[in-house]
Structure 1
Amino acid sequence: MIIKHFHKLNHISQILLSEMSGLKLHGAWASPFAFRVKWALKLKGIPFEYIEEDLYNKSKMLLHYNPIHKKVPVLVHGGKPICESMLIIEYIEETWPQNPLLPNDPYEKALARFWVKFADDKGPAVFKVYKSRGEELEKAKQESLEMLRTVEKHGLGDKKFFGGEKIGIVDIAFGWMVQWLGAIEEVGGVKLLESDEFPRLHAWINNFKEVHVIKENLPDHHDLVAQLKVLREMLLGQSSS
C-alpha cells in the first residue's frame, strides 16, 4: 500500500514538473511522425500542450525551433526544442521513466532500437507509393512489400506487440501502418497488406488499434485520404511540369 502510494505521488510530481516546464508539442494532424510523439506522451500519462502547425504556412515558432529541417514534430521542454520523432521519444523515455517504452534488458533494448531504425530506414518506401506513378510506383510497391515481408517474418513472431504483451517503442515506430497505410493504398491504387500474406501484421494492427490511447488518437481515414490525394496531385503535377 505504501509503495503504491509512493508511485502515485511520484507520478503526480512528474506531471507537475512537466506543467511547470511548459511541455509543448508542435505537430500536424496528418503527420504520422507527430502522432508517434503524441502516443508516447499519452501512454506515459504526461500532460502537454499541442500546437497544430499549418505546413503550408509554417509558424515563426516552428521555424525558430527547427530551423534546419523546418518540419514537425518538435517537442519543446523548458524552452528547449527536440526534433525528429524517434529521438524525441528516446528523450521522453529518459526524462519520464514511468510506463517504459523500452525494455530493461540490454539485448532486448538493442533489438528494439534495431527495429526502430529499420522502420525509419525502410518505411519511407511505402510513402512513395501515393506520390509515384509508372516505374517509380512499381519500384516503391516492391520495396514496400519487401519491407513488410521482413517485418512479418522476423519482427513480430507470435507476440501481441513487438515487445510482448504491451505497446513499446517499436510499435510506435511502425504505428503509421494502422491508419496511413490503408490511406496510401487507396490513393496509390495498390494493395500491399493482403491479410492472407501478412496475418501477423493484420493481427498486430487490430491489437494496436484496440488500445484506448491509440484508438482515441488517430486521424479520420476519409480526411487522410483527401489530404494525400491533394498532396499526390501537387507532387505529380510538379514532376510533370
Structure 2
Amino acid sequence: MDLSDLETAVALPFAADTSFDSVAIGVLVTLASFTTPLAGVLLAGYVARLVRAGSRDEATLSTFDGVLGMGVEGIRLSVVLVVLQLPAIAIAGAVLGSSSTPLTVFAAVADPRTLQYLGFSAFDVAGLVVAGLAALAGTYIGAAATVALAREQSLVAAVPVTRALVGDRAFFSVVSASALVVFGGRLLGFLVGTVPLVGVVLTAGVSFVTLVAAATLLGRGTNVVSKRALRPTHEPERDAVGSA
C-alpha cells in the first residue's frame, strides 16, 4: 500500500465512471445519520460493501442497491463494533460515576493535574488511561472485524479471519493509514461546518468522502497485506524447482 492507493481512495467519489446518484444518496444518508441511528446502521452496511470493493480494486463507487441486504449487514457490523467498545465504556463509567464527563475530559486535555481538584484519585486517572487503551484496542479489533465481516458475511466465519488480521503486523499500518484519513476528514468537516447556511451539508459531503476513502483504503490495504502474506509460501517452492 502506497500513496497511490490513498489518492485512488479519495478520488473514488469523483471518478468519471462513478454514478452521481450514488454520491448524492451517500451524502443524504450521511446527513441523516447526524440525527438518526438508523441511517448510521445503513452506512455501516455500506462500509462493508466499500471494503469488499476496495479488496477487489474496483474503480467505481459502490451503489446503494439492495438496501435490505445492506441494512442487515449494517446491523451485524454495528452490533460487533458496539460490543467491542463495551469494556472501555464500562471502565470509564465505573471511574467517572456521576461526574460531569465533558468537564472531566476538558480538564484532562487542558492539564491532567486538574483532575485532582475534581475529586479524582491516582487510581481513577489510571482507570481512565486503561479505558482509553481499551477503546483503542476495541477500535483496532473492530477494523479487523469490519474487513472479516465484509469478506465472509458471516459472524462465525469472520472470527478466524479477524484473529489472523489482528495478529498481522502489516495490518496495523493499514489501520493507521485509514485512521489518519478519518482524522483529516473530521478536521476538514469541522472547518467547513462553520460556513453559514450550507455548513451542515458541506460537513455531510466531507464525511461521506472520508468514509469512502477510509473504507476503500482499508480494503485495498488488507488485500495487499494478504498477497504479501502468501508470497513466502510460494517462493521457496519456486526456488526449489529452479534449483532442481
Tell me the TM-score normalized by structure 2.
Answer: 0.29
The structure with the largest alpha-carbon Rg is 2
Query: Of the two structures, which has the highest relative contact order with CA contacts closer than 8 Å and spacing of 6 or more?
Result: 2
* Bigger fraction of residues in strand: 1
Tell me the TM-score normalized by structure 1.
Answer: 0.29
